Amino acid sequence: MTRAPVDDYLRHLTVERGLAQNSISSYRRDLTIYADWLAMRGIAGPVAVTEQDLGDFVRFLGAERVPTLATSSIARVLSAVRGFHRFLAEEGLVPADVSRELRPPKLPMRLPKAIPVDDVEALIAAAGGEELTDVRDSALLELLYATGARVSEAVSLNVDDLVDREVVRLFGKGGKQRIVPLGSYARRAIDAYLVRARPVLSTRGSATPALFLGVRGKRMSRQAAWEAIRDAAETAGLATSVSPHTLRHSFATHLLEGGADVRVVQELLGHSSVATTQIYTLVTADTLREMYTAAHPRAR
């Protein structure tokens, strides 16, 4: 299959639907898997694809492809393929959408992994220090936990996105904007970073509006943010695996445990559907159930 139909679809996702570049890259990788499989089978293009071919492709992903894909990855690839064929049908480039009956494998429900408040405090404390990068990392971790930001949202922040000392402007998936409050701990950490570290880091590179800077004065990368959190977790001696998303999950879980309305948490996280946010209510319900079982004399 030529790359032209795929390029047309990716252009549609970029221009018409406003997907972020990271999402576009993911779609491109998944559709490359599909295009390579069609070429291997000698199928000239999407107009020649049948429902039987798609069934064979599902079996290929599940049992034949090397390296094998996780169930969640197979579901993601098939979602991209469905969207691609639906686009071609809507544009009149193929006579019908042969993927309309395509069903991805059912995914087990995975509850978000949050860590206790004490572990969050230990993690942030472990990032502290007097080095420029320590001051920066402390501000980064405080912001991630204070706002529930995705790591991509945090490293994409510009200084001007600090609307004032109490709120920050985040840009989520598809460029969707939201305003999130900053707690007092995060405000103090960011103020310290802006006064003590960022001015020095900024002299090491060309002028940039980025809030968080790397050691060479350029915008901090997602990988550098991951490493900062991993190093802090190791220093804190946390037994569980910690990632930037762990802080996002902890932010949501701790808010709900504290009595926040799920609709408010939805807005703060930037979820388009409250159903996504409601997963966190299952986490807090599990916690309550465990506490009840341990504490109530007639629970067991």
Residue 16: what pLDDT? 84
As beta bridge partners, residue 169 has 179
Domains 4-90 and 117-293 share a fold: no
Among residues 169, 188, 230, 245, the one annotated as catalytic is 245
Among residues 187, 198, 248, 249, the one annotated as catalytic is 248
Among residues 65, 113, 173, 188, the one annotated as catalytic is 173
Q: Tens of pLDDT along 242-264?
A: 888 889 889 888 888 888 888 88
Residue 284: what pLDDT? 58
Regions of the chain where pLDDT drops below 70: 1-2, 105-112, 272-300
Determine the Cα–Cα distance for residues 258 and 271; give it in Å rounded to an integer.
20
Determine the Cα–Cα distance for residues 255 and 171; give it in Å rounded to an integer.
21
Task: Please state the φ and ψ torsions of residue 163, each to the nearest 5 degrees.
Answer: -55, -45
Terminal alpha carbon distance of the chain: 61
Fold entry, domain 117-293: hpI Integrase; Chain A (1.10.443)
Closest CA to 242 of 256, 253, 228: 228
- The answer to whether 245 is a known catalytic residue is yes
Token pair listed for 285: 């319900």
- The answer to whether 280 is a known catalytic residue is yes
Helix (H, G, I), strand (E, B) or coil at 169: strand
Token pair listed for 293: 């079982």
Residue 243: what pLDDT? 83
- The answer to whether 150 is a known catalytic residue is yes
CA distances from 183 to 132, 137, 145 (A): 22, 17, 10
Query: pTM for the complete prediction?
Result: 0.62
Residue 49: what pLDDT? 93
Extents of the domains making up the chain: 4-90, 117-293
- The answer to whether 248 is a known catalytic residue is yes
Residue 10: what pLDDT? 93
- Domain 4-90: CATH architecture, name and number where available: Orthogonal Bundle (1.10)
Among residues 76, 82, 85, 150, the one annotated as catalytic is 150
Helix (H, G, I), strand (E, B) or coil at 14: helix
